[in-house]
Amino acid sequence: MSYWQQNKNNMKTSTVAQSAFTTQSGIPSFNPFPGLRPFTTDESHLFFGREGQSQEVLKFLAQNHFVALLGTSGSGKSSLMYCGVIPILQGGFITKAGVDWKIITCRPGQSPVRNLSEAIVPYISDEISDNELQKEYLFTTLSASSVGLTEVLRQVPRKRGQNILLLVDQFEELFRFRRIKNTTEAYNEVIAFIKLLMESLHQKDVPVYIVITMRSDFIGECAQFQELTKLINDSHYLIPQMTRDDFRSAIEGPIAVGGGKITPFLVQQLLNDLGDNPDQLPILQHALMRTWDSWIKSGNTEDAIDIKDYENIGRLEKALSEHANEAYNELNQRQKEICQNIFKTLTEKGGDNRGVRRPTVIKEVAEIANATEDEIIDVVEHFRIIGRSFLAPQPPVVLNKESVIDISHESLMRIWDKMILWVGEEYEAVQMYKRLAESAEKYQQGETGLWRPPDLMLAINWREKQKPTLTWAKRHNPAFERTMVYLETSHREYQLEEENKVKQQKRALLRTRIFAIVLGTASIISLFFMINSFLAKQDAEKQKIKAEQQTEIATQERTKAEEQSKIAEEQKQLAQQKEQEALTQKELADKEKLNAQASAHEATRQQKIALQKSQEATEQRSIAVEKAEEAKKQQVLAEEASKRAMQLRMLSISQSMSVKSLQIDIDTMLRALVAYQSYLLNHEYLGNVFNPDVYNGLYFAQKYLYGAMATDFLKHTYLVKSIQLDPNGPVFYSTGSDGNIIKWPLNDNTQPQVFYNSNNTNRTLALNNDGTKLILGLNTGEILQFDLTNMVTQPEILHQFTAAVNTTIFTEDQKLIASDNMGNTVTITPETKTVEPWTAKLSIKEIIPYKQGYLGLTKSGYLLKINSIQPLTYETKKLVFSNDGKTGSLQDANINEENIHSVLNSLATSPDNKLLALGDLNGNVMVFNLTNNKFEYRLTGQTARINCLEFSPKNNYLASASNDGSILIWNQKDFNLAPYQLKDNVAWVMSIKFTPNEDYLLSGYADGKIRKWPIDSKQIADVVKVKINRNFTLEEWQQYLAKDIDYKKTIPELP
């Protein structure tokens, strides 16, 4: 029986057993949520939110005997099949087919045709001893011809009127298989697999129906197979994105079936937290599974599931990652190393930067990880026990060396923080190996040489860290031995060269010493002769000077004589010429005299005509002057229009070059040259200085020239929660979930100073105005104060909350305002440690100074305007969108109100207190004018929650950071201009901070990275220019600019 069939049967057994549990003392005894794995057919009573869609799928299946079920990753394709389509199908929805079905499920995996044969075997033979022979027979039959599937299905025992449904799950694995193998054999197997399906639909002897489930982003891969494309066009169902009501049903329905209750507030919070996350359905199911378990463990099952149960598991954004880390932390050091290798083996990053699953046999995983099969199984068990559905197959399937293991859902690759790092490390390791293998092959063919530093040093470090095995290497390039020999040869040759250099230096030093001794002796002897020669030389030079003076006088006299002779000859020739001219002029004068007499009469007549013409000319002259003035005006306008047309054309070329530079992958120098020329054109032709395309072109050129290490501050290992700039100099502090506080020089990312570790989750940082006191808020509720003038002393505890610290800020009078996760807020005087609790629980998650008071956000998404603290007076506002969603307004609200239109998540005010920016969970930024309390702008472009907003110190920019991994920087002088899009990391952006001069923006990410982004394009252009070592060729100039634009060097001083 194939792994997928085992997994399906196992899930049935597990679910039936679980559902059979009874409730004792009113306590529900089974969890109604499956987590990351799909629902099974026995769990259809727990499947909510997709009502009516199964019937649509079956209509296509009844008409065409085929249907393609398409949807995004995490949209619930498999669950819809098992809990919707199959139960209704077995209920007789297709009337002419009846109710009796044999359902065969398979996945293409890494051997599509063989996996298909293994899926069919259990339906032909029940004898385990015959299975291997039967598999080989079926595999041979399927491989023999395109009608092989029809032949095999004829052998499946069927009752009269019984139909066969072939479900090909994860159909996109077919295309992954072809891309990974990248061989002619793999391409032929893909074609054969598709032909098997197509031919089985053409025949009428066996009543077979086929359903394929496939991720919608792979639909383009089908276009190369014409018959499959036509079939999908005629019969497909695209799973629609679930609405808010659908999600509400998916939350409340299973809880009701499981005998539990949930508060409306928590339902509302879950719906708001979902946002636009592409993995929203699987992470919701997982979070609900964990929340249910937390509720059961609390022992308060008479109460409804509430927000505290939800927060106990880390909320939607952390539940999956923290659950996986819980399993990881149970392992010892050896097991953790094996765990990394397991998950690196089961996943990889494709060429399109998408995560790809690679189901693998345990025996192969053990060879790759340099571990025994028992060690691999032991680690896998930690991640597949009941309640942890991270790896498949699920219990009670017993694992052995032939078992195929796989991650249960792609969302694990995108959400688990450790796995994000592992996938990235594996991608870098694979790229290094592929480069080495390619160079080894070219070296064997005589097309390249051995590797040299720095590439050689990087490769050696990779070998020591990765410890590659033959099994691992074969997945990427089979020439493992040749590659390792090439690397070792490169290393050995480099070592020999270094040793020879040392020996040559020693020999050269000895020769130099001997030569110096000989030269010194010779110099003393030569000095005597040199002095005598010098005196004799002086006498000779004096005589030589006198002789040269006499020669020069003689030469001058001879030259004067020659010049006088030439002048005399010229005068003689001139006299003869003048005589001839005089005779000629006399003849002409006689002729002109006769002509003059004849012309005198004519002149009198013409004078009269001229007077008349003069009057006409005067009139025409006036008209001509007017026309000339008009022509000049038109010429000026034409020249201005021509200049403007040229300006627009050159700016258009600049824009085009910026975009084209991002598409140049191989030639890094050409990429930089195109990006830099784009910047020069934009500057020369007065383009928008705040041009996002020019910026992106320069930024990625800089990255490819210098590498990410030039801008990245790497020391944290997890979420960077807060960044604070020291007012006394170019230094900043950072902290995050790894418990570290790190002091960084702003201009040197290689010298981090970790001066404190809390062994806990750090949440907030605050610096006083003079930079002498640093405040840290922890997840445990502690607020610590550090004296930065004396780093040796331990921190003081200023206050202890009963829940996690939400926010800490210093006031103008250097007092501290702090709030916790339970709604408490206090004002603390650090010098005396006096604590003054606020008189109301406002549940503040963020607070900032505003004029004489403060603005804040509550956890439920309301805006607070706090006018005074003693006594406490405040106003509560909520953000309400217009019907068209384009504008918004701040309206009075009751702080206990549950239903809100859009939960606010971050806020910021401009330095002049004129503008208020509010970010919500859907990626919107709303800008309000605080002088008249009116809506100004709705800024869009981000697709997930806005985690933080920041106005620049000089009031020029507004930055917004989002969970979609992007930062947008808006020009505050004109919000209608396109923003800079800083997006070079997939991790959530958790914190941002402008430097005082607005020359950089610091950003902290969920993967622990801190990046320093230059703000001005000129900064990046100057850095890129340093690395450019050539100009365009004529062909490149004509390709990227235009053939009719005269060529000129981009950098004049370069060749």
Burial class (CB in 10 A: 0-12, 13-18, 19+), 656: middle
Residue 787: how many other CB atoms lie within 10 Å? 14
Is pLDDT of 21 > 50?
no
Q: Is 322 helix (H, G, I), strand (E, B) or coil?
A: helix
Judge: domain 717-837, CATH 3.90.1150.10.
Answer: no
Is pLDDT of 608 > 80?
no
- Of 417-431, 1003-1017, 1041-1055, the least confident: 417-431
**What does pLDDT average to over the chain?**
83
Residue 513: how many other CB atoms lie within 10 Å? 9
Q: What are phi and psi of 407, to 5 degrees?
A: -75, 150
- Of 130-134, 385-389, 947-951, the least confident: 130-134
Strand positions, DSSP E, 246-400: 347-349, 355-357, 360-361, 391-392
Average pLDDT over residues 345-368: 79
Q: Tokens representing 396?
A: 């009670």
Cβ contacts of 231 within 8 Å, gap of 6 or more: 64, 66, 68, 198, 201
Average pLDDT over residues 581-601: 60
Q: What is the pLDDT of residues 705-742, one digit of tens each?
A: 887 666 889 999 989 999 999 998 899 999 999 999 99
Cβ contacts of 185 within 8 Å, gap of 6 or more: none
Is pLDDT of 364 > 50?
yes
Cis peptide preceding 157, ω within 30 of 0: no
Average pLDDT over residues 563-583: 62
Is pLDDT of 784 > 90?
yes
Cβ contacts of 828 within 8 Å, gap of 6 or more: 783, 798, 799, 815, 816, 817, 818, 834, 835, 836
Residue 899: how many other CB atoms lie within 10 Å? 7
Between strands 844-850 and 347-349, the pairing is unpaired
d(CA 140, CA 577): 114
DSSP state of 476: T
Give me the pLDDT at residue 1049, please.
Answer: 93
Chain region(s) in the chain for CATH 3.40.50.300: 50-241
d(CA 167, CA 802): 53
Chain region(s) in the chain for CATH 2.130.10.10: 717-837, 841-987
DSSP state of 43: G
Which residue would you say has higher pLDDT here, 585 or 501?
501
Q: Which fold has domain 50-241?
A: Rossmann fold (3.40.50)
Average pLDDT over residues 430-442: 88
- pLDDT band for position 72 (50/70/90)? confident
Is pLDDT of 12 > 70?
no
d(CA 37, CA 407): 10
Per-residue burial over 1027-1040, b if 16 or more Cβ lie within 10 Å, else e, is: ebeebbeeebbeeb
d(CA 857, CA 13): 48
Give me the pLDDT at residue 398, please.
Answer: 86
Q: What is the pLDDT of residues 270-310, one digit of tens each?
A: 888 876 655 577 888 888 888 888 898 888 888 899 988 88
Q: Tokens representing 219?
A: 């639909």
Give me the pLDDT at residue 420, please.
Answer: 84
In contact, 263 and 305? CB cutoff 8 Å: yes
Which residue would you say has higher pLDDT here, 1053 or 181?
1053
Per-residue burial over 186-198, b if 16 or more Cβ lie within 10 Å, else e, is: beebbebbbbbbb
- Of 109-113, 125-129, 159-163, 951-955, the least confident: 125-129
Average pLDDT over residues 335-358: 80
Average pLDDT over residues 587-606: 60
Give me the pLDDT at residue 236, please.
Answer: 92
Is pLDDT of 538 > 70?
no
How far, in Å, are 147, 148, 316, 411 from residue 35 at the CA level? 40, 38, 13, 12
Average pLDDT over residues 440-469: 86
Q: What is the pLDDT of residues 836-894, one digit of tens each?
A: 999 999 889 999 999 889 999 998 888 999 999 989 999 998 888 787 777 888 888 87
Is pLDDT of 2 > 90?
no
Give me the pLDDT at residue 17, please.
Answer: 33
Give me the pLDDT at residue 565, please.
Answer: 58
Is pLDDT of 968 > 90?
yes
Q: Which residue, among 812, 752, 809, has the nearest Cα to 777 in the 3D structure?
A: 809
Burial class (CB in 10 A: 0-12, 13-18, 19+), 8: buried
Most confident listed range (244-258, 525-539, 797-811, 887-901): 797-811
Average pLDDT over residues 672-682: 93
Give me the pLDDT at residue 20, please.
Answer: 34
Q: Which residue, among 945, 956, 1008, 997, has the nearest Cα to 980 in the 3D structure?
A: 956
Write out the CATH class of domain 841-987: mainly beta
Average pLDDT over residues 981-988: 87
Q: What is the pLDDT of residues 1004-1014, one digit of tens each?
A: 999 999 999 99
Q: What is the pLDDT of residues 149-173, one digit of tens each?
A: 988 888 888 888 888 999 998 898 8
In contact, 1019 and 695? CB cutoff 8 Å: no
Per-residue burial over 1008-1024, b if 16 or more Cβ lie within 10 Å, else e, is: bbbbbbbbebeebbebb
Cβ contacts of 1006 within 8 Å, gap of 6 or more: 417, 718, 719, 720, 987, 988, 989, 990
- HSE at residue 301, side-chain half, CA atoms within 13 A, is 18
Is pLDDT of 349 > 50?
yes
Average pLDDT over residues 803-821: 93
Q: What is the pLDDT of residues 197-227, one digit of tens each?
A: 999 999 888 899 999 999 888 888 898 899 9
